[in-house]
Amino acid sequence: MASEEHLDHIALEDEMRSSYMAYAMSVIVGRALPDARDGLKPVHRRTLYAMNEMGLASNRAYRKSAKIVGEIMGNYHPHGDSAIYDSEVRMAQGFNMRYPMIDGQGNFGSIDGDPPAAMRYTEARLTPLAEAMLADIDMETVDFRPTYDESSIEPVVLPSKAPNLLMNGSSGIAVGMATNIPPHCAAELIEGLLALMDNANITIEELMRFIPGPDFPTAGMIFGSQGIKSAYETGRGIIVLRGRATVEADEQKDRKSLVITELPFQVNKSKLMERIAGLIRDKKIEGVSDLRDESDRDGIRVVLDLKKGQIPTIILNQLYAMTPLQTSFGTILLALVRNTPQILTLKALLEEFLKHRQEVVVRRTAFQLKKALERA
121 is catalytic: yes
- pTM score: 0.92
Query: Interior CA angle at 320 toward 316 and 323, to 5°?
Result: 115
Confidence of residue 108 (pLDDT cuts 50, 70, 90): very high
| pLDDT on residue 290 | 96
CA distances 159 to 36, 40, 134, 136, Å, are: 12, 11, 6, 7
Domain ranges of the chain: 12-177+335-375, 244-324
**What pLDDT, on a 0 to 100 scale, did the predictor assign at position 4?**
56
Residue 193 CA to residue 97 CA, distance in Å, equals 21
- H helices within the chain, ranges in order? 12-27, 42-53, 65-75, 81-92, 128-134, 164-168, 186-198, 204-207, 226-234, 269-281, 312-322, 346-375
For the stretch 145-154, pLDDT in tens is 999 999 999 9
Total Cβ atoms within 10 A of residue 251: 6
Give residue 176's pLDDT band: very low, low, confident or very high (50, 70, 90).
confident
Give me the pLDDT at residue 62, please. 98
| Confidence at residue 166, expressed as pLDDT on a 0 to 100 scale | 98
CATH for 244-324, among 3.30.1360.40, 3.20.20.70, 3.60.15.10, 3.40.1710.10? 3.30.1360.40
β-strand partners of 208: none
Residue tagged active-site, from 62, 121, 232, 320? 121
pLDDT at 13 over 90: no
Q: What is the pLDDT of residues 124-161, one digit of tens each?
A: 999 999 999 999 999 999 999 999 999 999 999 999 99
pLDDT higher than threshold 60 for residue 2: no
Nearest-angstrom CA–CA distance, 117 and 88 = 12
In this predicted structure, what is the pLDDT of residue 8?
76
Q: Which CATH architecture best describes the domain 12-177+335-375?
A: Alpha-Beta Complex (3.90)
Q: For position 253, what pLDDT does the model report?
A: 75
| pLDDT computed for residue 342 by the predictor | 95
pLDDT (average), residues 248-276: 93
- Indicate the helix (H) or strand (E) that contains 275: helix 269-281
